[in-house]
């Protein structure tokens, strides 16, 4: 594998690894190269991103490497996260949020096992809306991130605490995830209706 191809492969590996990132040893095993070579290429790639003013950066965190965004672009990401057109939650986001809310702390892999689909983008979206956050690391291989809900989550659904999460009433044939997603969706609808009632009352006065 030539040098430019190796750099390209490393960039792709960091992309697919998501927020958890990869350590040099793991990358070296995947590309079948010496760890020293991998380390040098990663440092070179880090410099490429900065020199070319790319929107991404390679950060070294807890002995591993992961892709991050350029810190100076943070104001634009905040605008995107709080854009009115992105304020509603999709069915996929609600399902993922339901799993985290009821089973926290939980890892990305555990979420994906329950939903049967990749959760990287959905987790990134929920974190961008401040509905979930990293609450620790699991005591497992690779020390995967544990996710939990935030104070903003409680505010969003009008809850004073997690003990107020609605209990699903399950009967034979009911799907637990579907039922819990439905309950959270009803919470959103109730919140929206309450805000509309307040608005109408203000207009009437």
User: In this predicted structure, what is the pLDDT of residue 81?
Assistant: 59
C-alpha distances (whole Å) from 100 to each of 61, 113, 126, 162, 181 are 24, 13, 11, 11, 11
The percentage of the chain sitting over the pLDDT mark of 70, rounded to a whole number, equals 76
The mean pLDDT value for 46-69 works out to: 88
User: In this predicted structure, what is the pLDDT of residue 83?
Assistant: 53
Residues 6+ apart with CB under 8 A from 154: 160, 161, 162
pLDDT bin (cut points 50, 70, 90) of residue 21 is: confident
The mean pLDDT value for 74-95 works out to: 68
Q: Which residue from 53, 87, 102 is spatially nearest to 73, judged by alpha carbons?
A: 53
How many Cα atoms sit within 13 Å of 84 on the Cβ side?
0
User: In this predicted structure, what is the pLDDT of residue 192?
Assistant: 43
State how far the Cα of 70 lies from the Cα of 175, in Å rounded to an integer. Answer: 41
What is the average pLDDT score of the chain? 80
Residue 65 has what DSSP assignment? E
DSSP string, 144-189: PEEEEE-HHHHHHHT-SSGGGSPPP---TT--HHHHHHHHHHHHHH
Q: Which residue has the higher pLDDT, 205 or 191?
A: 191
The mean pLDDT value for 54-82 works out to: 81
Backbone angles phi, psi at 136, to 5 degrees: 155, -165
Domains and CATH numbers, the chain: 3-72 (1.10.10.10), 88-204 (1.10.10.10)
Q: Which two tokens stand for residue 100?
A: 């985290």
Question: Over 60: is that where the pLDDT of 195 sits?
Answer: no
**Residues 115, 99 contacting (CB under 8 angstroms):** yes
| Among 92-96, 133-137, 185-189, the least confident range | 185-189
pTM: 0.49
pLDDT bin (cut points 50, 70, 90) of residue 148 is: very high
Q: Which two tokens stand for residue 153?
A: 């989550």
Q: Where are the alpha helices (DSSP H) in 32-159?
A: 35-51, 74-81, 91-103, 108-115, 120-128, 151-157
State how far the Cα of 169 lies from the Cα of 9, in Å rounded to an integer. Answer: 48
Q: Which residue has the higher pLDDT, 104 or 166?
A: 104
């Amino acid at each position: 594998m030539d040098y430019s191809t190796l750099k390209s492969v490393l960039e792709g590996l960091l992309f697919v690894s998501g927020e958890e990132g990869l350590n040099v040893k793991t990358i070296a095993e995947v590309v079948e190269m010496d760890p020293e070579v991998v380390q040098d290429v990663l440092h070179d790639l880090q410099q490429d991103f900065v020199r070319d003013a790319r929107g991404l950066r390679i950060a070294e965190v807890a002995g591993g490497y992961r892709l991050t965004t350029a810190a100076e672009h943070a104001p634009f990401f905040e605008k995107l996260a709080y854009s009115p057109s992105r304020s509603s939650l999709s069915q996929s986001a609600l399902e993922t949020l339901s799993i985290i809310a009821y089973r926290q702390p939980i890892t990305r892999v555990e979420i994906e096992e329950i939903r049967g689909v990749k959760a990287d983008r959905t987790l990134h979206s929920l974190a961008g809306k401040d509905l979930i956050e990293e609450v620790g690391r699991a005591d497992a291989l690779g020390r995967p991130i544990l996710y939990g809900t935030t104070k903003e989550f409680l505010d969003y659904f009008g809850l004073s605490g997690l003990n107020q999460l609605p209990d699903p009433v399950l009967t034979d044939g009911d799907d637990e995830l579907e039922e819990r997603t439905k309950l959270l969706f009803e919470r959103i609808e109730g919140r929206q209706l309450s805000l509309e009632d307040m608005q109408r009352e203000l207009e009437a006065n």
